[in-house]
Structure 1
Amino acid sequence: MAPSAVPENTTAVAPESIQNPAVARTGDLFSLGNRTVVITGGGRGLGIVLAAAVLEAGGDVACLDLLPTPSAEEWATVQKLASARGLQATYMQCDITNEELTKDALEKIAAEGLKRNMPLRGAITCAGIQQMVPALDYPIDGWRKMLDVNVIGTFIPAKHCARIFKEQNTPGSIVMIASMSGQIANRGLTCTAYNSSKAAVHQMCRSVAQEWGQYGIRVNTLSAGYIRTAMTDALLKEKPEVEETWMRGALLGRLGVPEDFKAPTVYMLADGSGWMTGTDLRVDGGHCASA
């Protein structure tokens, strides 16, 4: 019998996992150290809470918002966190529907990050508006504004952050704050324009993830359920009976709060989610699990 053939190269190829940056201590996989994260809509509410989360995870944070100044009490907490950790938290007023202004702001943030050896590697597009109007009466100008802020205002910063990641030759992660309302119709609410805008964000995420993956850029959405913020409080003030409807779908017995989204967002920004892109993480207290 002829001897079996022996391959010329008997050196084993390293498993894919060994070549993957996600192979690290579990704690390190949730770190945002050595990077800057930009947050649109970072002047109050969910955005400013996520700014604190970035700092707690070890990253610098840069917040953009249409507000001239951020919420004073919350921003003081953010600055205290940054100082205690030797990190940096900055704030700039910016209209994220204006491409030139947004581009300039992001380029300044990226340049500052490189100076500090904290390159821009993450973005959270959190800016958005809500409006409750019956579809039969919805003014087209209101529709256009909703799409301009929630859709165009998501795409512009995502586009220019992706350009920066590519030019820096650094991996990057973009988290687009979407909503379960982009996947369902909300009982008790008449928010057709808002729901449509969030559905558009879901599809935008999938589309740009497909385009930008070749550059090491990941894009995912976080779909929030019903949370208590200034925006939802305004809706409930207008229609207080809606809270009872919401609570019937609250499998964990409560509505959400902005702090419920700190850990999920950090995960999507960090290396631990390095094989996750073009997908949605829904954090809704189980609301969509029941009919």
Structure 2
Amino acid sequence: MASKGLPEFSLSGKVILVSGAARGLGLTQAEALLEAGATVYALDRLPEPSPEFHDIAKHAATELGTELQYRQVDVREVEQLNKIVEDIASKHGRLDGLIAAAGIQQETSALEYTAADANRMFEVNVTGVFMTSQAVAKQMIKYGNGGSIILIASMSGSVANKGLICPAYNASKAGVIQLARNLAMEWGQYNIRVNTISPGYIVTAMVEELFVKFPERKENWPKDNMLGRLSKPGEYRGAAVFLLSDASSFMTGSDLKIDGGHSAW
């Protein structure tokens, strides 16, 4: 992608993985990376991505001169995950970026949470993110170009959400924020940067369903932040491009909180 202005935001020639990108925030961010010139591989556990995925892939190939590919993998299957990541890096002779957006949510009170459910939450949201980052970092080190890794955390990793009962989820996101700092510390020597994005409430299909079940949340949640509204997935596009590009070349070990001021009261 030829860029006349702000070339540091270009991702032209870069190969980037996005886990949890079959739909939702992961797919929205993947689209932004394509528009910035990157070749993008979406990793997700779904056998088939959402219909929108195929439209974006077609647009990438015909209009943007780049490509969006899909690879099915559960981030808990570490051996398979490593093989897929290694194959992608080997094909291109490089690996430049990762957005680790794969995650699950479960609303259960702390008194009723089972160990099995808690372990599943941490296995996907913390260990899965860790192992995905590790697989990518190994290839970045192998090809010697450095790179940038974004872990999708949450404002829920820094605050307790009033009226939202998800102790294990919030603990897992706090874990992601702390994990990123430690990976940044260890991998800085290889010119690998690691940062987190902490979104506020995002209106996705899943949240819309939640509002049907809990209409009071639709009314109350927007009042909890300083802008008085909820966010859309598209409002995190720029942050993804910024953190994966040279525009953020001196930024690592940081958490980019995008929550409408929710946790700044």
Query: TM-score surpassing 0.5?
Result: yes
Q: Sort the Cα spacing of 1:237 and 1:112 in 2 relative to 1 into closer, same or farther, 3 A.
A: farther
Structure 1 residue runs without a partner (length 5+): 1-23
For residue 141 of structure 2, the aligned residue among 166, 170, 185 is 166
For 2:173 and 2:183, how far apart are their aligned partners in 1? 15
Q: Does structure 1 residue 90 correspond to structure 2 residue 65?
A: no
Partner SS for 1:137: coil
Partner SS for 1:241: helix
Please state how far the C-alpha of 1:240 moved relative to its aligned partner.
2.2
Partner SS for 2:60: helix
**Alignment-mate amino acid for residue 49 of structure 1:** T
For residue 90 of structure 2, the aligned residue among 111, 114, 118 is 111
Partner SS for 1:34: coil
Structure 2 residue runs without a partner (length 5+): none
> RMSD of aligned C-alpha atoms?
1.5
For 2:140 and 2:4, how far apart are their aligned partners in 1? 25
| 1:6-155 equivalent positions in 2, closer than 5 A | 27-114=6-93, 119-155=94-130
Query: In 2, are the aligned partners of 1:55 and 1:82 still within 8 Å (CA)?
Result: no
For residue 241 of structure 1, the aligned residue among 216, 226, 231 is 216
Query: In 2, are the aligned partners of 1:64 and 1:94 still within 8 Å (CA)?
Result: yes
* Structure 1 partner of 2:202: 227
Identity %: 43
| 1:138-287 equivalent positions in 2, closer than 5 A | 138-287=113-262
For 2:223 and 2:54, how far apart are their aligned partners in 1? 34
Please state how far the C-alpha of 1:78 moved relative to its aligned partner.
3.2
**Alignment-mate amino acid for residue 35 of structure 2:** E
For 1:52 and 1:82, how far apart are their aligned partners in 2? 12
For 1:96 and 1:260, how far apart are their aligned partners in 2? 26
The superposition leaves residues 156-214 of structure 1 with CA deviations (integer Å, 9 ceiling, x where unpaired) of: 11001111010100110000000000000001110000000000001100011100000
For 2:54 and 2:258, how far apart are their aligned partners in 1? 25
For 2:206 and 2:75, how far apart are their aligned partners in 1? 18
For 2:27 and 2:166, how far apart are their aligned partners in 1? 25
* Structure 2 partner of 1:9: none
Query: In 2, are the aligned partners of 1:180 and 1:284 still within 8 Å (CA)?
Result: yes
The superposition leaves residues 120-175 of structure 1 with CA deviations (integer Å, 9 ceiling, x where unpaired) of: 10000000011111111111111111001100110011001111010100110000
**Alignment-mate amino acid for residue 161 of structure 2:** N
Query: In 2, are the aligned partners of 1:209 and 1:278 still within 8 Å (CA)?
Result: yes
Query: In 2, are the aligned partners of 1:130 and 1:231 still within 8 Å (CA)?
Result: no
**Alignment-mate amino acid for residue 191 of structure 1:** C
Please state how far the C-alpha of 1:25 moved relative to its aligned partner.
7.9
**Alignment-mate amino acid for residue 92 of structure 2:** G
Please state how far the C-alpha of 1:239 moved relative to its aligned partner.
2.2
For 2:228 and 2:5, how far apart are their aligned partners in 1? 31
Query: In 2, are the aligned partners of 1:187 and 1:245 still within 8 Å (CA)?
Result: no
Query: In 1, are the aligned partners of 2:44 and 2:71 still within 8 Å (CA)?
Result: yes
**How many residues align structurally?**
263
Query: In 1, are the aligned partners of 2:223 and 2:229 still within 8 Å (CA)?
Result: no
For 1:73 and 1:217, how far apart are their aligned partners in 2? 31
TM-score (norm 1): 0.87
Query: In 1, are the aligned partners of 2:57 and 2:67 still within 8 Å (CA)?
Result: no
Q: Sort the Cα spacing of 1:40 and 1:79 in 2 relative to 1 into closer, same or farther, 3 A.
A: same
For 1:257 and 1:112, how far apart are their aligned partners in 2? 34
Partner SS for 1:260: helix
Partner SS for 1:135: coil
